[in-house]
Structure 1
Amino acid sequence: MNSIAKNSIRWTCSAAVFFAVITLQQQKATAATLSGGWNYAIDSFSDGVTGGQVGGGEFEFYGIAVKETSDTAFVAINSNLSLAGYADSAAQRGNINYGDLFFNFSGQNFNTANANGNLFAVRFAAGNDSGVATTGVYSNVSAKSVTQLNSGFTNLTQFNTRVQSAGGTPSMGDLSATDPYFQQTGENTVLNSIGSGTKVGEISSLTPATLSALGLNFAQFNAVGSQTIGFSFNKSSMPSGNYIANLFAECANDAIALKGSFSQDSAEAVPEPSTVFGTLVGLSFLGIGAAKRKIKYRN
């Protein structure tokens, strides 16, 4: 075999390995956003407003996480707010709870998606001010604000200013506190509850023990709120693709958002080292074979 042929084989083999490494690194980078199969968003630990206290009080949201299998979505929330809510005589019902959890697959900002009927949402707190009758998954959702019923903030700018004035750091998990995804100013513009929608699925409550068995671990991020709330639903209730999910307290005293994606099938596992090695070797031999065939045809 002449030197040109040898160089051709070396170049083809090296190229095959290079592109294999790039491809596998891209897969690994995508999978590395997960931990134990859960996609986490961690919020500021100093932006929950509870009366005169900013940070660490009843309304402190620490994190939210989502895990998927081929047919089921699991959601977990870590905070200091009980699912029974927070007793407050200034609230219309005498109790302030979680708002509803919204999912937006449209790629539009929240208000635009809301106006176009493109929002999905989950009512998981049976005692909140949601405009739908029962807990569950809803499509074609129209969102509303219930902050005025719960002695809350009229807009996000007011909330951010209050937190910063007390030395806290406002944030929304995967979004900044001032992200234009949400309207920041105006009267009663924090849309945190389902106004109306079409029920398309049920939810099943999950205990902290069940969530732990599923690999959930907020503590790895030092997110150690007193409450871990979880539920699951059938993925057929929602589309596949990228989404932004968000959750506010009914008073908008804290909020969190998560960027994620639902696949049509279960999420791909991170390749094992043996699989990576086997793929590289296989592609190398394919490259050598291609080079030899090319040389043979030239001869």
Structure 2
Amino acid sequence: MGGWNAADIPDQTGRTHVVTGATSGLGAATARALAGAGATVIMACRNEIKAQAVAKTIDGTVQVRALDLADLASIRRFADSVEGADVLVNNAGVMAVPKSHTADGFELQIGTNFLGHFALTALLLDRIADRVVNVSSVTHHIGRIDLDDLNWERRAYSRFGAYAQSKLALLQFTTELQRRLLAAGSRKLAVAAHPGYAATDINSKTENLLESLINLGNRLIAQSSAAGALHSVYAATAAVEPGGYYGPSEWFGWSGPPGRVGTSGAARDEKTMRLLWKLAEELTGIDFPVS
């Protein structure tokens, strides 16, 4: 692949990265790339046994710690265990699964993909030295934030609609976090990335008839997990613009080397993102340390 690649990752010796969902797919590939560049990587994973097995395959310094983003109590315990880090990569997620709920009663996709990472970032921000990276998706373009029914209690449930909403929420969160950091005079960065079309486990756990089609696409046209993770690694280590969004620069955003990419108009809706921020604080019960 031309352009920026794994050989261009800046030396990460002496730096610590927290990567959520590092058990498989993009998260494991992200952890592997960062550890290979010299970083200490904290693998924040729900399944510790599986994570330990993955950690043994990674050359470099890695630590496995328990984190269930669908449980605010687990998020608090994990945050209490982290003394400090340079970068937080909010990578973990669930995609287009049947309707279910987190331990705190949130719809699973908005609860895991957005509210869990919102809470984690809020609890860790004062100990993050450099930047926060939120991993979104090209599906944010079809997302819609329903502030009156964020948890799909009144709407007819749509698996992909819920997924797209959660990934759009992550982009709005990124923009609003960067605005607040700048207003507070902080030099910390909030950036986002997306992997394009990458073959990962998340694409094959939709539990519906579309799964067979996704699996076929994974075999025929998808990038590898390592190629997809490169965009998160770029956002975590390269010289990036505050609030920037990075992903594949070729094939309509499906593949190619990392580059600055565009967002939907909804991702730039300032009124909605500020109301979403307030709602997220109310739902999680966590006040963010930047106002």
Could you say whether these structures have the same fold, taking a TM-score greater than 0.5 normalized by the shorter chain as the test?
no
Higher relative contact order (CA 8 A, sep 6+): 1
The two structures have a TM-score, normalised by structure 1, of 0.24
Higher helix share: 2
Rg (Cα) greater in structure: 1
The two structures have a TM-score, normalised by structure 2, of 0.25
Higher strand share: 1
